[in-house]
Chains A and B, each alone.
Chain A
Amino acid sequence: MTDTNPCQRAFDEELLSGYIDGELSQGERQRIEVHLAECASCRTLQESMRAVRDAARSTAFAVPTDEQWRETARTLPGRWSRQLGWLFVILCAAAGAGILLWEAAASPEPWWVKVTVFGVLGGVGLLFASVLMDRLHDRRHDRYRRVHK
């Protein structure tokens, strides 16, 4: 970040936000006020940030009506059953692949049949594992990871 505020050495600039939000101690607040009284640049920055905050705080949004809440609730079973459906498909496919591999290994089929079966199922399994690992990696390294449930 390139900071063009010429007063950045006068005090820790982020205290301006603490000042706007009323989060500073009395001593810090007085220090900021003394500085703002003599520094037009910091005053301008403080006023622009305060204007943004005031605009945000007074913003009105539309919220759903009771009917919209009911309508969304009605779609939930479908969404959840779809997720459950995918889970069952994956579990059954994994179980089926395991059984097929076991049978192929124990069967008297020629070697090239066994190689084909192992190749196809092994490839699908590796692809699935790579997607799963990507997802897990993404979850572990997500900077908003903390879950307070």
Chain B
Amino acid sequence: MTLTSTMAPPVGESDRELVLLAREGDQEALSTLTTRHRRSAYLLALQLMGNPDDALDATQDALIRFCVHLNRFDAERPLKPWLYSIVRNRCRDLLRRRRVRRTEPIDSDDERWRPEIVDESADPHGDLERSRLRTRVWSALGQLRPDHREILVLRDYQDLSYSQISDLLGIPQGTVMSRLHRARKQLASQLAPPSAGATYT
């Protein structure tokens, strides 16, 4: 594995050009398109599932669906939200299947969540306290309800706007804000030391 942050700038031809070429059967364009976006798709899957193995499987499945359904995609629209919706739905399917198999309640803690995948040494300035906070936030994220975890991932890890989240989840922007606020309060409450008395939930 190599270390990276969430966002990466696209290079070369535009997504629109690649989509149009891929639809005409250009395999190289399709390969470039998937290679360009697989990283961000993987990071979203990882943040939703909390486990590199599951995230890799979900991403591969999502990329296949992405290629299969490329003809349905409107090339004039941005590609990333569409890919994200496929990844999100694939992750949701896998999580739901796992819960059905294990007969777990939908709000249970996820035992496959792995806090160690956050790299504490990634801070070049060696700010140990901030690094620890990052790891604690990530660990606490795994304890949240799936819908709270999802909205925090989309806003705080993926840096999507309320409008983009609203389109992706099919909910009004006001609901995005209220759900996000509840999720943040729950997370802040979990991170607060017991003696601080800062219980928000």
Contact = CB atoms under 8 A, between A and B. Distances in A.
Contacts of A69: 38
Contacts of B52: 62, 64
Q: Size range of the interface on B? A: 35 or more
A50 B89 CA distance: 28
B180 to A, nearest CB: 5
Interface residues of A, number: 45
A79 B192 CA distance: 43
A63 B130 contact: no
Contacts of A146: 169-170
A56 B152 contact: yes
B21 interface: no
A81 interface: no
A60 B60 contact: no
Contact of B156 (A44, A57, A148): A57
A59 B100 CA distance: 31
Interface stretch (B11-19, B22-30, B181-189): B181-189
Contacts of B75: none
A149 B192 CA distance: 40
Contacts of A15: 177
Interface of B: 1-6, 38-39, 42-43, 46-47, 52, 56-57, 60, 64-65, 69, 72, 82, 85-86, 88-89, 92, 96, 100, 117-119, 122-123, 130, 133-134, 136-138, 141, 146-147, 150, 152, 155-157, 159, 161-162, 168-170, 173, 177-178, 180-182, 184-185, 187-188, 191-192, 198-201
